[in-house]
Structures are given as structure tokens and as C-alpha cells.
Structure 1
Amino acid sequence: MTLTILFLLAFLVIGTPIAAAFALSVFLNADQLNVWMDSLASIPYDGISGFALVAIPLFILVGELMNRGGLAASLATLADRIIGRLRGAFGYVMILASGFLGAITGSSVATVAAIGGALGPEMVARGYPRGYVASINAAAGLLGVLVPPSIPLIIYGSAAGVSITQLFIATIVPAILVALTFAMVHWFRSRALLPNGQEIVSSDNTSSIKGGASRVKTLSALFMPVLVLGGIYGGWFTPTEAAAAACIYAIIVVVLHRTLSPKDVLQTFYVAAVPAAAILLIIGMTGILNRAMILNQVPQDLATFMTGLFADPLLFLLAVNLLLFVVGMFMETNAAVLLMGPLLAPSAMAFGIDPVHFAIIVVMNIEIGLITPPLAANLFVAARTNDVPLIEMLRHFGWFLAAAIIALGLITYIPAISLWYRFF
């Protein structure tokens, strides 16, 4: 199995597409793995044909429909009305709006692009340095995954056999915790970065978002997370059925508000299909590597090794966090969740760690990689969206990275933060 891992790392280093890297690392070493090539043929299809995974393309479609239909501006307007009177308000608006949008898209990168485009110019006009605007935009984008529904949580639940509904419920309080830590960083940093500690607001600097959405449109946007999360938690929908209902609702909203024409809606279907196909292809090909590891009892051997190496579950969690932090720095999020989740879950069970709690730790940790170079997809998207060189972000995003790591530590060692729903 060691040779297979080396093949995988080599393929990733030279830039091989992730899906191909997972499959080729097994194909080239099939004899030593005692895996018959013809037995692998059906694994990709079996891996992506599960009912739960249908939610992934549906939630991506919902995000595209609502983004193209002006949702980001609507949610920003709502956030501005709620907390617009606070000192340094627009930083909080970006964090809150990212949480709102995350409750619809389930995607961190999509949240960064949409909210950055809607709010970035306004923050710059109010006196914030562009590097700071891009940094808070990238960090707040993590809420796109932590606020349910979350595509990585859907993937983890399907791969590791954990209830996706429970994962969605569990991640609410961790998401609030992360949002609060980012808000504390903004409260501290805005006083040092803004002229005289105050945002610049003049009669010529009218908010670009306030006139961008009617009250009806804003309420329509706000009802989306209510429909999705309320339907799931109320027991009316499974996560996949909620995604389908959200798609129907999104189409009705954009058509009634005339923000998208029927032709635009059809185009949005195509735009959403591309990233959905990429994710599902990665899931299918990762299944080949996972099957090879299971046949060679790698998860069981790793669990035995970890329990022998660490007598204390607290030390085990520390080691897992360090490992996943490094993995998240170099590997695409969904692929990392698919690879590390099923691999580490048996070890966590051997230590008596709750599967739901461990899932939140894994996804939260790997998500931090989105703001940790060298991969750092959120940083690159935020830099492009806010038209700022990445070098200008370096002295700002470290504050938010530190806040995310502190939040991860609390989530890791205080299980009640993730398992809060079991107290009711």
C-alpha cells in the first residue's frame, strides 16, 4: 500500500487531475494490492449512484440560480439592516451575509465569489484596505461549508456512513462559534485599520447594496434556508429531497422576480453541471482507492497503530488535527474529506469518539486549508474577486487563520459544541 500512496502523491505533485490520480495510483499497483482490475469497473458508478449524493448537484444548482438572481445583494441588504448601526458594521455584514449565503450554496468558494463581488467595493469605499477586505472575505467564506447544508458534510456522511441530517444539525453551533471568532477579529482589527477607527460614510458614498433589492426579494431569499433547514429538521424532507425542493423554489423565485429569463435559467443548469460533475467524478474515482485500502485492511491497521501509539484520545485528536491541517494545505477539500474520513473514522471509533463529533472535526480542519497556503482556494478567489495582489493579504489573513484554529481547538476538545442537539 505504501507504493500506492507514493504514486498518489507523485501524481498530485506533478498536477495530475485529482480523479485520475486516485484511480491511476491503484491501477499501476493492482497486482501488489491483490485487486482484480475487472472488479474495479463498477466502483465509480456505485460510488456516485447513492441517493444522498444527488443533493450535491442540486445544491450547486440552487446556489447558481440564487447568485445569478441577485441573492447576494439581497442577503447583504438584510444583514446591513440588522447590524448596520454597529461600529465597523460592514465587516460584520460580510460575515453575516456569508453565513446566509452558505445556508443556500453549501460551497465555500461560491460564497467567497458572490459576497466578495457584492460587498468588496463597498468596504473599500468605506476605508478598509483592499488586502483586509479580501482576507475577511476569504475567511468568512468558510461559513459556506460550516453553515448547513454543506457539500463536504454530505460527502463525509455518505462515505463514512454517518447520518447527514445529524451532521447538518450538529454543525450549526460550530458555525456560529466560527462566525463569532471572526467578528471578534474584525472588532479588534477595524479600529487599527480604519481612519480614526470609523468607516467613511458620506452623502456621495451611498451603499451599493441598499438599493439593489426590494423587501419582497430579500424575504424570498431569506426563506430559502428556512425551507431547506426547516424541512430537514422538521422531518419533512431528507437532505436530498430538501435540495430538490430548494431547486424548485429557486426557479420560481428568479422567474417571478424576473431576475433571470428562461434562457438564463437553462444556462445556469449548464454552469452548475460542470462543478457538480467534477465533484462526482472525484467521488467515483476516490472510491477505487478506498476499496483498495479496505481490501488491504488499511483503516483497521491504522486504527490498531493509532490506539497503540496514543493511549489518550486527547492526544489522538491532536495528532489527527495536525495531520488534517497538513492534508488540507495541499489537497482539494472534497478529495481530502473522501480520503481521510473513511481512513480515520475507525480509529476514532476505537477511542470512543462520537462519529458526528469526529465528522465535524475532520471537515472543519480540512476546510481551514482553504485559507492556508499553498492551496488556499479561498485566498486566491478572494484576491481575484477583490482585485488585490495576494501579497497584500499576507499581513491580514493570519489573524483570521489564527481565529479559525482557536475555534477548531474548542470544537475538538469540547464535544458539546457539536453534540448540542442531544441535550434537548
Structure 2
Amino acid sequence: MHAGFSVLLLLFLLGVGVPVAWSFAGTLLMLTLVYDVNLNTLMLQGFRSLNSLVLLALPLFIMAGYLMQAGGIAHRLVGFAEMLVKNRRGGMGASMVLASGVFGAISGTASAAVASIGTILVDPMEQRGYPRQYSAALLGISSLLGILIPPSITMILFAVVTQQSVVACFAATIGPGLLLMFGLILFNYVVAGRWFKESPAQPAHETQGRYSLKTLFYAIPALCIPALILGGIYGGVFTPTEAAAVAVVLVIGIGCFVYRELTLRKLCDSFVRTAETTGTVILILLFSFLIGRILVAQGVPQDLATFVTGLVDSPIGILLMVNIFLVLVGMIIDDVSLTVVVAPLLLPLVGAAEVNPVQFAAIVACAVIVGSNSPPMAPVLYMSCRISKVAVHRSFSPAIAMIVFVAIPVQLITTFVPAVSLAFPRMLGLL
């Protein structure tokens, strides 16, 4: 009863516009009063939970995303992706999807991808005939490839709160990420020429061959970053935390000495933005850890599992209910909050359906993509529309079409075909 009321209180505070961190703080305060919890002991437990070497990767990957945006790396990645599909049907839309995937392999965040890729591609796409509201919807969904294509901040948080292997969670989302990339490119190919007419593009002053070679040459340093990061992680050269530090060093070096766009002012601005974002995330993480401790002590996850299994006795029914719940909550709260609060509560429930926790990590990531772009709240879609300078209600229609025909099928395949998420972890010997 009290646990259900705490969830409603959290959703109410978020719905009326209270900042996310303080919404969690208010919920925590209510639970400590209701259950008469010793706050001193609870805060000590929260500090111990945050005192984790794995969590050091969070600010480092966030910093890498901001530095990519400031140092010209994102611009080169977009140019490379556009070169691969230039003058093909749906080429500009496909370049947005590919650029988001490569960007996600470095930064691991959706917000940085929206800001970087949106400011670079939305205007050129409009010049090529793409409706602005369609571009905003495609940006909103493809930017979340950063959650699926490792390394992923969301998967780091999931691994910490559920005590799973970070590398295994990274590997679990590779299959769904590739499926989503392919699905979005195929969807864009189908609708280009039907919903709108895309005009061809030609380099203004250079031949096509020379233009392609020049673009590839400038993109090589940027493309080396994800190759080194992922190769180092899965090759056992360094841990995810060390990989994050390597990513920051590479991005700073390439931005300063190769592209020469990362000035001291931009570097300082990136550090400030990293500190602001990290502070918010850590506050959310702390409060969510404490809320989770209270709920676990009161047996709420076990009671939830017993209640649901009493209503639905088949694994398929349980998984469908879990997916619907994740999507509905994802419409209201961000991916960090969903991962650190809701996922641990549902873990015993999916365990009753005999789902591997690593597969559940991939299911949560797919649910975030659907929920974050679903009306009426659609937090990531709203951010994308702000960057694209278009009213959010105009992007609802294309966003819903992409969700129905691409994102939901990927989520269902990930849920009911375990090999999609478990093949890579098994191949790498992580399971």
C-alpha cells in the first residue's frame, strides 16, 4: 500500500514539473516517515553504494559526449555517415541513424546525441525535402541508440543496481541496437518518396570521388575512438571505467591537435556541463538507492512478483505485463530514473519468468526507447523537437509510426527471442 502510494507520489511530482532529483528526494522523505527508517544508517548505506569504481565511468563518458560535440568530432562522424549513403533513396535519414549509432559507441548518452547530431543534420535534411517534424521524430528515436550501442551509461547503472557484469550488459544490447538501426534505415527508405520527396545532393565544388576521399580522411581519427574503446573493453585490455578515461583522452587529443576545434573555452564549458549533468545523475542515483533499500527491506519486490504471478501464471503473460509497465513509466520519467528505480523492483518478477538478468537489461533499454518517444510526455522526443525548432505535437504522428513499425517489434523480439540479446555475451564468454 505505502509502496504503491510512493510510486504515485513520485509520478505526481514529476508530472507537475518538480526537478527529477527533488521528486526522488520527496518520495524518499515520505518513505522514511512512513516506515520509521533510521536516516543516518540509510545515508551511510547510500554512500557505500555510490562508492563504486564502476560509477567513475559515468562522468567520464558524459564528458566524452560533450567534448565530441565541442571538438568537431560529431561533425566528422555525421559527414562520414552521410558519405556512405549519399544520393541513395532515404540517404540523409539513414546518415542520421548511422551517425547516432557511431556517436553512441563513444558517448553512451542520448541527450548529447540529440544536441550534436540535431544541430548538424536537421537543417540540411529540410533542404533536401525532409519535413522538419519527421526529422525531429527520427532524431528522437535514433539518438537513443546510445543506450543500445555500447558503451552505455544506462547499462552501467543497470549493472550497478542489479549487481550484474557491466561488460555482459554492454554485450546484451548489441543485437537489439543493430536491429533498431536496420529497422529505422529500412523504415526511412520505405517512406522516402511516399511521405515526402528527397532531392539528390551533389558536392558543390568537388567531384564525388574527391569529396568522398576527403570526408573519409577527416573521419578516420573520429572512427578510431569507438574501435579502440570497444576493442579494449571486449579484448580485456581495460575495464569500462578505464575505457571511459581513454575515451576522454582520445577525444581531447583529437579535438585539440587533429581537428583543432577544441579551444580552452570550449574545454572549460564542457567540464562545467559535465559537472552539472553528473551532479544531477548522482543525486538521482543516491535517492533511488535509498528508496530501493527501503522497498527491499519491506519485501516490496517479492510481494509484487507474488501478486503478478497470481494474476498471470504464464511467462509470456508476465513478460508482456513487464514490457507494458516499463513503457508506461518510460513515458513519464527519464532513462536513468527508470533504470535505477523500476528495473530492480521488476527483477524478481522476470526471474519468475526464467529470464536471464542480462537479457532483462536489453529489455529495459528497448522499453526506454519506446517510452521516451511516446506521447503524451515523450521526454526525449520533446528534447529533439526543441533542438529541431518544431512544435512537439507535429512530430507525434511520425514518431508513433516509427514506434509501431520499428521500436515495438524490436522490443518484442528482444523479449521473446533470448538469442538476440544473449548471443554476443555467450560468444564473448561472459555467460
TM-score bucket (shorter structure): over 0.9
Greater Cα shift, 272-281 or 7-16: 7-16
CA apart distance, 1:108: 1.2
Give the root-mean-square deviation of aligned CA atoms. 2.2
Equivalent position SS for 1:128: coil
CA apart distance, 1:413: 0.7
On the 8 A contact 1:327/1:336 being kept in 2, the answer is yes
Q: In structure 2, what residue type is equivalent to 1:109?
A: S
Equivalent position SS for 1:360: helix
Equivalent position SS for 1:41: helix
- The structure 2 residue matched to 1:7, chosen from 9, 15, 26, is 9
Q: In structure 2, what residue type is equivalent to 1:98?
A: S
CA distance in 2: counterparts of 1:203 and 1:239, whole angstroms: 40
Equivalent position SS for 2:89: coil
Match of 1:394 in 2: 396
Match of 1:235 in 2: 236
Matched, 1:248 2:244: no
CA distance in 1: counterparts of 2:162 and 2:49, whole angstroms: 12
Match of 1:418 in 2: 421
Q: In structure 1, what residue type is equivalent to 2:398?
A: H
Alignment of 1:256-295 (within 5 A): 256-257=257-258, 258-295=260-297
CA distance in 1: counterparts of 2:399 and 2:310, whole angstroms: 38
CA distance in 1: counterparts of 2:71 and 2:28, whole angstroms: 43
Match of 1:353 in 2: 355
CA apart distance, 1:17: 2.3
- Tell me the TM-score normalized by structure 2: 0.92
Residues 376 and 206 of structure 1: CA distance in aligned 2, closer, same or farther (over 3 Å)? farther
Residues 104 and 315 of structure 1: CA distance in aligned 2, closer, same or farther (over 3 Å)? same
Match of 1:362 in 2: 364
CA distance in 1: counterparts of 2:26 and 2:206, whole angstroms: 55
On the 8 A contact 2:31/2:291 being kept in 1, the answer is no
Residues 221 and 343 of structure 1: CA distance in aligned 2, closer, same or farther (over 3 Å)? same
Equivalent position SS for 1:193: coil
CA distance in 1: counterparts of 2:111 and 2:33, whole angstroms: 39
Residues 423 and 232 of structure 1: CA distance in aligned 2, closer, same or farther (over 3 Å)? closer
- Deviations 1:269-295 (Å, cap 9, x if unpaired)? 112111111111100111111011011
Residues 277 and 85 of structure 1: CA distance in aligned 2, closer, same or farther (over 3 Å)? same
CA distance in 1: counterparts of 2:401 and 2:9, whole angstroms: 36
CA apart distance, 1:225: 0.7
Match of 1:315 in 2: 317
Residues 4 and 179 of structure 1: CA distance in aligned 2, closer, same or farther (over 3 Å)? same
User: Which consecutive residues of structure 1, in runs of 5 or more, have no partner in the other structure?
Assistant: none
CA distance in 1: counterparts of 2:409 and 2:92, whole angstroms: 24
Match of 1:106 in 2: 108
Match of 1:59 in 2: 61
CA apart distance, 1:181: 1.1
- Percent identity (aligned): 34
- Deviations 1:297-334 (Å, cap 9, x if unpaired)? 11122222233332211111000011111100111221
Matched, 1:407 2:417: no
Matched, 1:131 2:170: no
CA distance in 2: counterparts of 1:96 and 1:390, whole angstroms: 24
Equivalent position SS for 1:35: coil
Match of 1:305 in 2: 307
On the 8 A contact 1:88/1:199 being kept in 2, the answer is no
Match of 1:201 in 2: 201
CA apart distance, 1:49: 2.0
Q: In structure 1, what residue type is equivalent to 2:145?
A: L
CA apart distance, 1:191: 1.7
CA distance in 2: counterparts of 1:163 and 1:187, whole angstroms: 37
Aligned residue pair count: 420
On the 8 A contact 1:142/1:368 being kept in 2, the answer is no
CA distance in 2: counterparts of 1:206 and 1:282, whole angstroms: 51
- Tell me the TM-score normalized by structure 1: 0.93
